[in-house]
């Protein structure tokens, strides 16, 4: 409905139609769905199943901070201050025309500072060392995006891979 109405509004604007026929049609109702949440115990079980998965720390960061997949995928080392123990959500990774791109968040409210626990700081320091070793190993194949969470060759992390990681851990934990 929305796409059709927008297209016909353009046709009216361009003089191809005198009036938009969808303006007289009632917008279809969408049944609201209540968001589902995991219990604290289910989250604990899911996190226990992350060991050995590449994006374990990314999912742990989502669980501990409430960050969204695109925000975690868009996190750059320049946005993380391990000395102060905080990070800044300054961008997100989105798919545009089939390619992954880093972009600023849609709203000012989405840009925010998030404090980090001592445990997360330690995990991020360890992750940084691992990433530097991967960079050395990849050599000239490495793409320097500055991303905290990247592929084995430094490319941007697809937010869908974080969902896959959660799905794998949930499956192991027996959580739907």
Condensed to tens digits (0 to 9), the pLDDT of residues 36-74 reads 888 999 999 999 999 999 999 999 999 999 999 999 999
Torsion angle of alpha carbons 65, 66, 68, 74, nearest 10°?
A: -20
Its pTM surpasses 0.75: yes
Q: What is the mean pLDDT of the chain?
A: 93
Instruction: Give the span between the Cα atoms of 73 and 163, in whole angstroms.
Output: 11
* Cβ–Cβ under 8 Å, residues 149 and 58: yes
On the question of pLDDT at 30 being above 90, the answer is no
Residue 33: per-residue pLDDT: 87
Condensed to tens digits (0 to 9), the pLDDT of residues 76-121 reads 999 999 999 999 999 999 998 889 999 998 888 889 999 999 999 9
């Amino acid at each position: 409905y929305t796409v059709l109405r927008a297209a016909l509004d353009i046709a009216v604007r361009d003089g191809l139609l005198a009036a938009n026929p969808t303006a007289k049609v009632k917008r279809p109702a969408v049944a609201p769905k209540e968001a589902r949440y995991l219990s604290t115990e289910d989250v604990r079980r899911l996190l226990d199943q992350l060991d050995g998965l590449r994006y374990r720390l990314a999912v742990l960061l989502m669980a501990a901070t409430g960050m969204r997949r695109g925000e975690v995928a868009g996190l750059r080392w320049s946005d993380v201050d391990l000395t102060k123990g905080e990070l800044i959500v300054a961008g997100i990774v989105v798919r545009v025309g089939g390619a992954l791109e880093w972009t600023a968040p849609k709203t000012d409210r989405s840009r925010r500072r998030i404090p980090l626990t001592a445990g997360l700081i330690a995990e991020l320091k360890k992750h940084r060392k691992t990433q530097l070793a991967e960079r050395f190993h990849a050599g000239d194949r490495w793409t320097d995006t500055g991303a905290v969470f990247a592929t084995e060759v430094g490319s941007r992390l697809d937010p869908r891979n974080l969902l896959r990681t959660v799905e794998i851990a949930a499956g192991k934990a027996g959580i739907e």
